[in-house]
Chain A
Amino acid sequence: MTMNNYFDRQERVIGKEVGKKIKSTKILVVGAGAGGNEVLKNLALMGFGNFTIVDFDPIEDSNLSRTTLFLKSDIGKSKAEIAAKALYLISLHESPNIQGINAKIQDVGKQIFLENDIIVCCVDTMDARAYINNWCVRLKKPFFEMGFEKFTIQISFFPNEKPTDACFREVIGFGDFTGTRQSCSKLKMIDTKLEHIPTIQVAAALAGVLIATEIIMFLKGDSRLKNKVLQYAADYHRILEIDYPQSERCHLHENINYQIFKSNLNVNINTFRDLLTELKDALNSDFYINWNEEYIYSMSCESCGKEISIKKFKSEIFDNERWCAECQDKYNESEVVKSKWLINKELFLTNQNHKFFLELPMSDFVIKENDIIEVNNIQSSNDKILVLI
């Protein structure tokens, strides 16, 4: 059997050790648009073969002028799934393992971050960037990020390896990025649309090259972009490198002792009471769960009063969801909230008002399979448990 010689020249540049790392490194790429396509293509050609690709968008005709992995015949299909298939065809890895997940990253179990060695963020919204960054900091995963507009490219790398490392929150600020135009109900208006930024293929290609290069430098141990942002204005060939020290305003860097606990429970069968009891029995302490924002389990229709199952965080709900499917024609955005919402934000075993939510199967309350639940110790706020479930 003849050995292929794909990487002979490459290994003269980066060495055989890095070549071995390339084969085994698992990469999660979130966002398979123009930038994601370019990063994936570059990495696959350099021998990476373990990819998980997450994107919830379908391919549109406007994507084709900036994406190397999509064809005209792919319009309307899932970006993540088509990118995974195309990548498999060009992969030079001896046994590629490439998975495309057609979903929002927030809707995928958070263990996806633990299962991968490097996280590459190629999304186009701030709330998704903030979400991915937050989990990379908690789980100490290297976070590569890209963005581009017109001819300007911005990439950054936060290794999340030392307690003094910064994170992408230092770049984008500490605000709440779920905010959109709000109605009186405090829910999103239905005319909230994602603004399409002006961009061009060469900007995406450059961003893809720069990120792929930094990943190689990181594997070599020679990364010079740690805790930095690099901006390149391609139309003027200007480069700007910005250091980001850790900010005391970023509470992701609090001195928290995270302990990982593997639960034996099933999210579709077991309840939160089961989970908190399992933790209490195993760790001999009292725990509680607190979500960042309110979770709305159900509402009653503003028009007919019928109960509507919601099961989402408040910032994910559109105002018109207060009307049931049959009453949508009566939707009125200025109508005040008349109906009562079944809503909760945290769960204590000992809180008499949490009984209803404690008895729900966890899958009924935002938890997915392969998820991670952050649980707080009542006695010590610096000790938190990350429950793998």
Chain B
Amino acid sequence: MSTFYDNILLREEFNLVQKLQKDAEFAKYVTVKYEDRVTGETKTVLSAPTVDKYPEKYIVDYRMPVYVREGQIRNDYHGTAKITLSEPVLANRRADNGPFVEWNSNFQPFNNHIRKDWICTGNAWAVAKDSGLWHFIISLGALINQDEFVCAEGVHIDRDAYDYWVRRGRKPVTNINWALDLLTKLTITIIPTEKPKITIVKKTPEQQPGQQPIKKITIIKK
């Protein structure tokens, strides 16, 4: 394990996931925790890890409505992804082989990519690999929600679910405004300042006859 992976890459991922968790829309549907490497405790991603050992294992809880059959939605769906990061994945994000994911849920949704105890991470990683873990966490959520940007075309594990999704116009179950702009989103703080003063001064007596009148403008910068 390189120190670059341990100290830089894992910390970067953690900080971005922490920022993601603070997004109000995301937090309505997803809660991210992690396994503290030193103690093994499960902690919220909003708390710091022991002795700055940034996590490799994340536990992500998804709660969102899902279809269970044509036209029927259940609102009590709950799935948990245990995601393990590793150096080959983070140091080589373009690799097709994404993070290792264990999946569990309370029931099987009507979804072409998800079973009760398995989730297809292939396409989720394909769209997330240039950005990293935070995007991958969103992508798994988007897969449950059947957002078009992450759902690969074609039948995978459930033909009926795929056909129904196509007939619905490839629409998501819920219109979730995922924080896909996390990296570019700027925090703008506006500090009130005094307006610049503009003073227009009348023509001075020293003005020579025949000269054009002058408007003297003084701008006081603050």
Contacts and interface: CB of A to CB of B under 8 A. Distances in A.
Kindly name the residue among A288, A292, A376 whose own CB sees the greatest number of chain B CB atoms within 10 A: A292
A179 B122 contact: no
Interface residues of A, number: 40
A284 interface: no
Contacts of B157: 336
A175 B97 contact: no
Interface string B59-93: 00000000000000000000000001011110110
Among A288, A314, A340, A381, residue most surrounded by chain B Cβ atoms (within 10 Å): A381
Contact of B40 (A343, A352, A378): A352
Given A186-B100, A336-B118, A336-B157, A351 B39 contact: yes
A179 B3 contact: no
Given A251-B4, A378-B38, 7 more contacts: A176-B97, A294-B86, A336-B118, A345-B86, A348-B38, A353-B40, A379-B51
Contacts of A346: 37, 56
A345 B56 contact: yes
B214 interface: no
Interface string A312-347: 001100000000000000000000111011010110
Contacts of B97: 176, 179, 182, 186, 315
Contact of B117 (A252, A338, A376): A338
Interface of A: 174-176, 178-179, 182, 184, 186, 251-252, 254, 256, 288, 290-294, 314-315, 336-338, 340-341, 343, 345-346, 348, 350-354, 374, 376, 378-379, 381-382
Contacts of A293: 86-88
Given A254-B2, A351-B37, A176 B51 contact: no
Nearest to B118: A336
B81 to A, nearest CB: 13
Nearest to B104: A340
B1 A343 contact: no
